[in-house]
Amino acid sequence: MMNAPTKPTILFITSAHKGDAMIREVKDQGCHAILITEEKLKHEPFPYDSLDEVFYLPELARYKDVINMVSWLCRGRQIDAIVPLDEFEVEIVAMLREHLRIPGMGVTNMRHFRDKLTMRELTQAAGIRVPPFAQIKNYDTLREYMAAVLTPYMLKPRMEAGSMGLEKITDTEQLWRALDRLGDNQSHYLIEKFVPGDIYHADSVVWDGKVQFVTVAKYGAPPFQVYHGGGVFMTRLIPNSSKEAKAIKTMNAKVIKTLNLPYGVTHGEYIQAEADGEFYFLEIAARVGGANIADVVEAGTGLNPFREWGRIEVARLRGEEYELPTVRNQYAGILMTLARQEYPDLSNYTDPEIVWRANKEYHAGLIASSDSYERLESLMGQYLQRFGEDFMTRADPWGTQRTGHAG
């Protein structure tokens, strides 16, 4: 057995600019940090001072090219860990780990946290409540599902992130027409009962199979609605003492145990149904939540999930124990919208609780933090109305950006 490396080499792969805190953390801990990203991101402000090597490919979706590049890199380097910074690289990174025999989540376990059908089957078998669903495989089975479960449904791609690719189905004829359009791709989808309700997300840090840290937050409008219809994306942390947070934390811990994540971070989504008030598991990913959720968690607790993921990876490689840092108990929330203006002016938003402002063309966004949940809720409500008047456009902001607001 080889000794644990004192200066591990960690390879990051991403098709979006994110994860700066993780890259900096592993470099600060003395690791050799390598980044592979896409050529279109050459001018993004990655933390280049914390990267020892950077390589670009035309498209990370061309898996053969990625495997060939990483295999070539391994000829002159001992790569100890490969980490996907974005949801869309989770699959190729799992393939790379197995192909190159590098420790970490492999293809089978990856599907527990990427394939919506797999995670539903496993959690339902463990007694976790999920909306009624069916695999799109056998048409007789599908007809039985439609006879037993009333519309509306959600037609969901099994391997996409967040709200991407979802279609709301209002009658069975619409479903058959949608399957006709999908053709040979229909087995890559599932059908699920549409459950109206409030959607929450739980963002966790996991070590030795146990949740060491978790925050629970509540979305404003459902991400599906914002993603497909435009509007203002909003989410904010809710009190740990609330019955909603307690219920979701319990379910979230059981989901993570059932799906077998030994270490890392997760972003899980849950819904409280209007009809019965019960909580249902929707999906979970073994990565940090998108849409600046890491910044929201940090603004409220002082803990950045990307940074902790970096600490966990280094501790694992060196055979050390991971220790959770001291966290604080504050509240934070974010609002983000596609803006009419190329450079939105937020100078009239002057409350001292504002701790972050978006710096991206045609986007308006801010994060606010407060010791008081009531104060934060008041600010979020005010900003939501003002964003609609000052900035919001109804154009589809995410159709041309696959990493948009995938939660």
| Residue 30: per-residue pLDDT | 97
pLDDT tens-digit profile of 144-158? 999 999 999 999 999
- If residue 267 lies in a helix (H) or strand (E), which one and from where to where? strand 264-273
| Residue 405: per-residue pLDDT | 39
Decide: helix, strand or coil at residue 139.
Answer: helix
User: What would the two tokens of residue 403 be?
Assistant: 């990493």
Residue 350 has pLDDT above 80, yes or no: yes
Name the percent of the chain lying above pLDDT 70. 93
pLDDT tens-digit profile of 200-238? 999 999 999 999 999 999 999 766 555 545 689 999 999
Q: Distance (Å, rounded) from C-alpha 160 to C-alpha 88?
A: 8
| Residue 298: per-residue pLDDT | 98
Tally of helices (H runs) and strands (E runs) in the chain: 12, 16
pLDDT tens-digit profile of 19-69? 999 999 999 999 999 999 999 999 999 999 999 999 999 999 999 999 999
Residue 162 has pLDDT above 70, yes or no: no
Residue 400 has pLDDT above 60, yes or no: no
| Residue 265: per-residue pLDDT | 98
| Residue 271: per-residue pLDDT | 97
Contacts for 281 with CB less than 8 Å, ≥ 6 apart: 120, 123, 128, 129, 130, 251, 255, 268, 270
How many other C-beta atoms can be found within 10 angstroms of the C-beta atom of residue 247? Answer: 16
**CA 368: distance to chain centroid?**
21
In the sheet that holds 189-193, the strands lie side by side as 133-135, 189-193, 153-157, 167-169
The chain-wide mean pLDDT, for the chain, equals: 93
pLDDT tens-digit profile of 240-285? 999 999 999 999 999 999 999 999 999 999 999 999 999 999 999 9
Name which of 290, 287, 376, 365 is nearest 329 in CA terms: 376
- If residue 226 lies in a helix (H) or strand (E), which one and from where to where? helix 223-229
Domains defined along the chain, listed by start: 9-104 (3.40.50.20), 132-193 (3.30.1490.20), 197-390 (3.30.470.20)
The number of C-alpha atoms within 13 Å of 402 and in the hemisphere containing its C-beta is: 13
| DSSP letter, residue 104 | S
More confident residue, 165 or 85: 85
The pLDDT of 105-124, averaged and rounded, is 96
- Residue 1's pLDDT band, with cuts at 50, 70 and 90, is very low
Q: Distance (Å, rounded) from C-alpha 348 to C-alpha 291?
A: 23
| Residue 231: per-residue pLDDT | 82
The pLDDT of 385-407, averaged and rounded, is 64
In a 10 Å sphere around its CB, with 0-12 CB exposed, 13-18 middle and 19+ buried, how is residue 103 labelled? exposed
> Backbone phi, then psi, for 9, in 5-degree steps?
-105, 120
Cβ proximity of 290 and 162 under 8 Å? yes
